Every structure is written in C-alpha cells, then in structure tokens.
C-alpha cells in the first residue's frame, strides 16, 4: 500500500478532480485556462468520520471535492479537523462504493437492479411478513438515531417498536447511569479545569479537535492531568501522570477514591446534604472499600489512591473525573456500576454545574412538521427485551440490545431486519453469530459500501447518498464538551451524487409506497429542515450559507432549582446515588464491588485479558476501508497488537513477531508491538481492523478485531456487550 501524507493526499485529491473532469475535446491547455476561471465554492456541512460530527468547510470546484477544512464556528472543530475527516472526505471517490441497488441472487453473488424493482420486491416481502408474523417481527438497526423520526413513522404504520441502535456495543452503561441517577448528562468543562482525571477515556484517540485544544490550553494554564489506563494511550502523552491500572479493576479504584473522600471528610458535605439522595445507603455498602483493599485488586498503591483522591478534592470544584464514552462503559459486567461511580465521585466534590467541573452542553428545541397521525396495529413489547419487565427492565428501550438480534432471528422472533449506516457483523461480538442475521426472511442493508453486513448477510443492498451528497435533519451540536451557546448545524450536499443512490427518507418513501402507504411521507427533506428551524427565527438559506449557527448563551452555573428546591429530572430532584430501576428489579441500587466476569490465571504465562481502543486516525471499523487512513496504519504499524515487554520475553516473543491469539471461540494471527507502555496482564488491539468483506478491498484480511474473540453476552443492567470480559492465550508463531 502506498504511504501518503496529508500534503500528498490533498494534492492527489486536486489532481483527481482535474483529470476526471477534462472533456475529451479539450486540450490540456484549454482545460487549464477553463479550470482557472471556474470558481471554487466553499460549502459548509459536517463530517461523518465519527459520531462527533465536526463542522467542516468543503472546497469544491467543477462539482468535485478538492479539500475540507474545519468550520470556524462549530463547537467540535473550531477551525480544525482530524485525519479521519480528511480521509473520509476522500472516500466520496472510493471504488468500493455501491453504485446502485443490489440483490443477492446466490451465495455471494449479487446483481444490480433498479430502484423500482427493489422497492417492489422489498415491499411485497415486508407486507407478507407483517401479515403473517405482525410488525413486531421487524427490526431496524442503525448507528445512531439520525433517521429515527422517519423510521418511527414507518414503524407506527406496521406496528413495530424495534428501533435498535449500536449503543449497546458502545456506551449504554454511561447513558443509563446518568439517566437514572441525574435525569440529565453533563460534560467536563476542560478549558476551565484545574485537575482532570481521564480513566479509561482516551480523549486524544477518539479525538475531538476543539476538545483537545481546550485540554492542552488548560494544561498550559497549569491544570494537572491524570490518566488511569492499562495502556499508555495518546491522551497519556500530555498527562502529568500515567497510572497503569489492572484491567477490569476500575470499579475498585473508584470505590476506594470515594472511601478516601468520605472517611477523611474532604468531600463537599454542604453540596451532598443539599443535592444528593441515598448518600447513607452508599456509605453503608462501601465503608470497607479502603485504598488498602483496592491496592490488591487494582495494582495501584494505597498511597497513590489517597494522593489522587486528596488532589481531586483539593482542586474541586474545578476538578472532574471525565464522564467518558465507550471506554469502561461497555467493557465489563460491572460497567454500569463504574458509570455510577463516575457520577458519585464528581458529586462528592460538588462540581456539578460549576465552571471547571461538570457543565451542560447547551441545547435548543427544534420544530417539527405538522403531519397526519399514523394509525397502525398496536405495538407489542420490544423483541430484544430492552425496558421490558422480566427481561431487561433497566436497559434503555430507546437504545436496544443490538448484539442479540441474530439470536432472535434464530429463535424465529425476528423475520425482517433493516440495517442502516451500521455494520454489526464487524462491530458486534462473534461474527460467526452475527452472520446469522442472513437467516431472517428479509435483510436490507442501507449503507454506502460493501461492508461485512452487506456482503455476507443482506438480501438487498440499497445504497444511501454519501454524506457529502445529502441533506439531513438539522443537528443540535452537543455532547462531550461543555458549552454555553446552543448551536445548530446542517448536513447538506456539497457535490452531486456520483451514483444511482438515494437518501434514506426517499428509500423509506419508496418502500412505503410499494406496501400501499403512498401518503405516509407527504413531505421532502427540505420541508423537514424548514419546519425544524422555523422556531429559531432563521431560514434555510441562512443555515445553508452558514453551515453552523450559534445562538445566545442559555447555560448558567448553579444547581437547577425550582422554588428553591433541587430540580433535576429524578424522583427527588436530586442526584440519586441509588439507581431507581435497579432497586425495582430487586438489586442494590447503589454501586459496590462486583468482580470481573473472567480474569487471566496468574499462574499461566500465556494468558492475558484482551482489551481494545481507538487510534486517532480511525473510528472503529467504520474507516477501515479508507486508503489514506490505512496508509497511516501501515506507516505506524497500526494493526499490531501490543504486549508488555516482560511478558513477551517469557514467551520468547520479539517486536514484529507474528503470534497466535486464541480465545474460547476463535483463533487468529497478528504481529505484535513489544512495549513497556502496557499493563503486563493484558494485550491490546486497536478496534479498527479485521475486515472480511472481499469487496472492501483495502480492509480485507488486514489485522484482527477484538470482536472475533468475544462471545455474545449481555450485561444485565445496561445491556452492553462486556467486550473486555475475555481471556486469550498468546503463543509465538502460527499454531
């Protein structure tokens, strides 16, 4: 693979635009003169390289993308973008994009069909499934919720409650804990902080450009950064201290920190007395969780735990434990309790709604179209059991449990599956189980390329416009960063569609019309955008021109009050240390110690816990077929698995060696990086690689993926995959 830097990439992009648009009757000199006269348009939109959705400015000439830059106003970018944004912009011109609707005809063979044929056949099959099994047998799986409003209307018509996100493989434990304990969600106010703890949170790996800018500026102003992670991650490179923790022991560390704060009476008692419920219950169960107790579990000395807890309290309220995202919140059987403890530690030092502590992301309410009510069959309970009494009562029904859909297909409970902007065969545990999606009577993949789900499981592939070719419902900018000013951002076309593709709304319209619901979507995407922004006092032309618009500040410091009383959206209006739904299920509502589900045997030199994480130039498997980003992986040995130097030496393994990795369900080979920068009891792999769709040629057979080694599991409180509850054996060579 050709190695390429950013400068070469931008030059190549521009050159490609020149060559591909030269008319045959032009000489090069004619073209050069004409090209010089063509205006370069600067069109704002937002990126799709990850779910941060940073604002970008696309530079377009002759309907060809030349380059992208960071939007100067957008909260996430503020004029800067990461490698993923550059690489995924270039993916507009990938040869592996799906160019028209496809139908599987036999085995791995597909044929191109018209949209009319696709809609007709899918509509007829779906009508038959709904009549025979009810709408409850139909599932929509999506990465995120951008299309949910449109899908909800369709599902109201057929009687399905089964919109399922990828969140159970990502961060369900975090959002579940925050919802139950606070009724809201807050973010670190990085730029005003004096002391920041990043535990299992690699802010520089899952990079948000403006977020890292705020963190580095805070450090320049004297803020102290503590990173607690088994791996010396990218964020650790700017930290004041890296504390390597035994993987799987984060809950013990947090419980011991709380013990120090309470037992030494250095917590904010005034704040706790006014704004916290169930403090006494929490302390009752955790009086014995001392630093000495935690030292044996975490491998971190009791003195170090006390030092961190005391420094945390000393710098509060301009101090916080970073609320995090994927890291820790889908990894272990105790991930929900880890998330609870993040809330509790922050509450104990009274940093809620304080500058430099935890602050909200400013929000703003959008309008909506006034549409006829949809009447359809009564919906049953969710097929995945999320939010259902007697099944997974405490799992957020709005999120769902993605990893068990193939099992539901096998059980005959799911008959039709739509998979949109999502690739569960590569990003959910055990692809040998995930591929059983194909056994549903109807599987429709709505994606842009030949990802594993499309290639191995879909009966029909309906290609969506690439993100640079489409409008979407306006996006209220929020998440990960504290900010006072609400923002609204618009995704809009910057170039014309290259192929015979459609937007998701038009795809749903086509299927609905084929089923006999011609009036289900009596609007266009433009109508939807105009209705959404109408209450904001702006029009579509202004938003298209600006890309992102910022409004006057709405966020204030100070705990929310109503008539002088705490007014969070919880039962008591306070921060509840005991989670309501966990108590309803008969569990202890407060977090206390729960050991990991599995652990490597310390007497066996070849056993390790397998952990994973992001790289700054990739976004899990989403970017793994990108030539430019994969060139970076090649340059930096990005596909290598990390192993601790001392453990490698005992196994006779040297840097660059190929090793065999084996779990209870899978075995594969990968090259290794031997390093001191990893806890000795684990091995680490990046979350990007292991592509197994031969039509996605760049990703195919490159590296391994952590999901290959993990059985399908469901953490009982939040429904997550417990993706680091896996022990592997490592052997030198191919065996």
Kindly list the structural domains of the chain, giving each domain's residue range(s) and its CATH number in brackets, ordered by start.
Answer: 1-93+477-500+530-556 (2.20.25.90), 102-170+381-464+503-523 (3.40.50.740), 187-359 (3.40.228.10), 607-732 (2.40.40.20)
pLDDT of residue 33: 62
pLDDT of residue 283: 98
Instruction: Please determine, for residue 624, whether its predicted confidence score (pLDDT) is greater than 60.
Output: yes
User: Could you read off the pLDDT of 437-466 as tens digits, one per residue?
Assistant: 999 999 999 999 999 999 999 999 999 999
User: Could you read off the pLDDT of 326-341 as tens digits, one per residue?
Assistant: 888 999 999 999 999 9
User: Could you read off the pLDDT of 640-669 as tens digits, one per residue?
Assistant: 999 999 999 999 999 999 999 999 999 999
Contacts of 471 (CB under 8 A, 6+ apart): 490, 491, 492, 493, 503, 525, 526, 529
pLDDT of residue 259: 98
Measured distance CA(524)–CA(531) in Å, rounded = 11
According to DSSP, residue 62 is labeled T
Instruction: Please determine, for residue 298, whether its predicted confidence score (pLDDT) is greater than 70.
Output: yes
CA nearest 228: which of 91, 345, 53? 345
3-state SS, residue 442: strand
Measured distance CA(176)–CA(57) in Å, rounded = 35
Instruction: Please determine, for residue 607, whether its predicted confidence score (pLDDT) is greater than 70.
Output: yes
pLDDT of residue 21: 31
Average confidence score pLDDT of the chain = 94
Instruction: Please determine, for residue 509, whether its predicted confidence score (pLDDT) is greater than 60.
Output: yes
Does residue 317 have a cis peptide bond before it, meaning omega lies within 30 degrees of 0? yes
User: Could you read off the pLDDT of 523-573 as tens digits, one per residue?
Assistant: 999 999 999 999 999 999 999 999 999 999 999 999 999 999 999 999 999
Measured distance CA(570)–CA(572) in Å, rounded = 5
According to DSSP, residue 560 is labeled -
Instruction: Please determine, for residue 3, whether its predicted confidence score (pLDDT) is greater than 60.
Output: no
Q: What is the 3-state secondary structure (H, E, C) of 185-249?
A: CCEECHHHCCEEEEECCCCCCCCCHHHHHHHHHHHHCCCEEEEECCECCHHHHHCCEEECCCCCC
Measured distance CA(131)–CA(73) in Å, rounded = 50
């Amino acid at each position: 693979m050709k190695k390429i830097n950013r400068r070469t990439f931008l030059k190549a992009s521009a050159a490609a635009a020149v060559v591909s648009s030269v008319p045959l009757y032009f000489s090069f000199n004619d073209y050069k003169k004409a090209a010089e006269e063509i205006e370069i348009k600067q069109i704002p939109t937002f990126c799709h390289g990850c779910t941060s959705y940073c604002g970008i400015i696309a530079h377009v000439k002759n309907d060809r993308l030349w380059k992208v830059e960071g939007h100067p106003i957008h909260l996430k970018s503020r004029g800067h973008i990461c490698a993923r944004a550059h690489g995924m912009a270039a993916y507009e011109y990938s040869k592996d994009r799906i160019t028209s609707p496809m139908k599987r005809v036999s085995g791995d063979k597909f044929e191109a069909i018209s949209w009319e044929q696709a809609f007709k056949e899918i509509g007829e099959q779906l009508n038959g499934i709904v009549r025979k099994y009810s709408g409850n047998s139909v599932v929509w799986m999506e990465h995120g919720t951008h299309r949910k409003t449109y899908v909800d209307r369709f599902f109201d018509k057929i009687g399905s409650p089964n919109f399922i996100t990828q969140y159970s493989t990502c961060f369900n434990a975090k959002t579940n804990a925050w919802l139950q304990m606070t009724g809201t969600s807050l973010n670190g106010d990085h730029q005003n902080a004096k002391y920041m703890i990043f535990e299992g949170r690699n802010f520089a790996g899952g990079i948000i450009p403006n977020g890292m800018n705020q963190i580095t500026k805070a450090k320049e102003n004297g803020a102290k950064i503590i990173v607690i992670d088994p791996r010396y991650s990218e964020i650790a490179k700017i930290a004041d201290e890296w504390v390597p923790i035994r993987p799987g022991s984060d809950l013990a560390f947090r419980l011991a920190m709380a013990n120090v704060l309470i037992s030494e009476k250095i917590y904010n008692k005034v704040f706790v007395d006014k704004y916290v419920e169930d403090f006494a219950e929490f302390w009752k169960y955790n009086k014995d969780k001392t630093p000495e107790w935690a030292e044996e579990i975490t491998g971190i000395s009791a003195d170090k735990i006390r030092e961190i807890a005391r420094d945390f309290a000393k710098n509060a309220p301009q101090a916080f434990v970073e609320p995090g995202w994927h890291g820790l919140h889908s990894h272990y059987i105790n991930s929900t309790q880890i998330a609870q403890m993040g809330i509790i530690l922050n509450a104990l030092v009274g940093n809620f709604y304080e500058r430099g502590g935890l602050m909200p992301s400013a929000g703003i309410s959008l309008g909506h179209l006034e549409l006829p009510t949809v009447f359809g069959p009564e919906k049953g309970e969710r097929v995945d059991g999320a939010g259902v009494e007697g099944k997974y009562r405490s799992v957020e029904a709005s999120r769902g449990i993605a990893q068990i859909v193939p099992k539901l297909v096998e059980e005959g409970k799911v008959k039709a599956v739509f998979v949109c902007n999502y690739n569960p065969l590569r990003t959910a545990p055990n692809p040998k189980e995930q591929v059983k999606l194909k056994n549903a009577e109807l599987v429709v993949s709505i994606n842009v390329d030949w990802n594993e789900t499309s290639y191995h499981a879909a009966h029909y592939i309906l290609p969506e416009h690439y993100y640079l070719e489409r409008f979407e419902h306006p996006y209220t900018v929020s998440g990960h960063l504290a900010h006072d000013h609400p923002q609204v951002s618009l995704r809009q076309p910057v170039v014309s569609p290259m192929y015979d593709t459609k937007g998701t709304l038009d795809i749903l319209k086509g299927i609905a019309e084929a089923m006999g619901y011609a009036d289900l979507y009596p609007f266009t995407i433009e109508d939807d955008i105009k209705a959404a922004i109408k209450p904001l006092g702006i029009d579509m032309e202004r938003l298209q021109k600006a890309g992102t618009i910022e409004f006057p500040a709405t966020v204030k410091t100070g705990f929310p009050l109503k008539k002088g009383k705490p007014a969070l959206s919880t039962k008591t209006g306070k921060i509840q240390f005991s989670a309501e739904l966990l108590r309803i299920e008969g569990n202890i509502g407060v977090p206390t110690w729960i050991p990991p589900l599995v652990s490597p045997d310390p007497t066996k030199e070849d056993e390790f816990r397998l952990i994973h994480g992001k790289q700054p130039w990739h976004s899990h498997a989403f970017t793994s077929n990108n030539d430019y980003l994969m060139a970076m992986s090649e340059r930096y040995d990005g596909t290598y698995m990390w192993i601790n130097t001392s453990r490698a030496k005992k196994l006779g393994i040297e840097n660059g060696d190929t090793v065999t990795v084996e779990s209870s369900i899978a075995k594969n080979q990968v090259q290794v990086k031997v390093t001191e920068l990893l806890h000795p009891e684990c091995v680490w792999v990046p979350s990007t690689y292991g592509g197994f769709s031969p039509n996605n040629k760049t990703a195919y057979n490159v590296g391994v993926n952590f999901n290959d080694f993990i059985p399908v599991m469901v953490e009982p409180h939040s429904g997550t995959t417990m993706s680091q509850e896996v022990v592997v054996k490592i052997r030198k060579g191919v065996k």
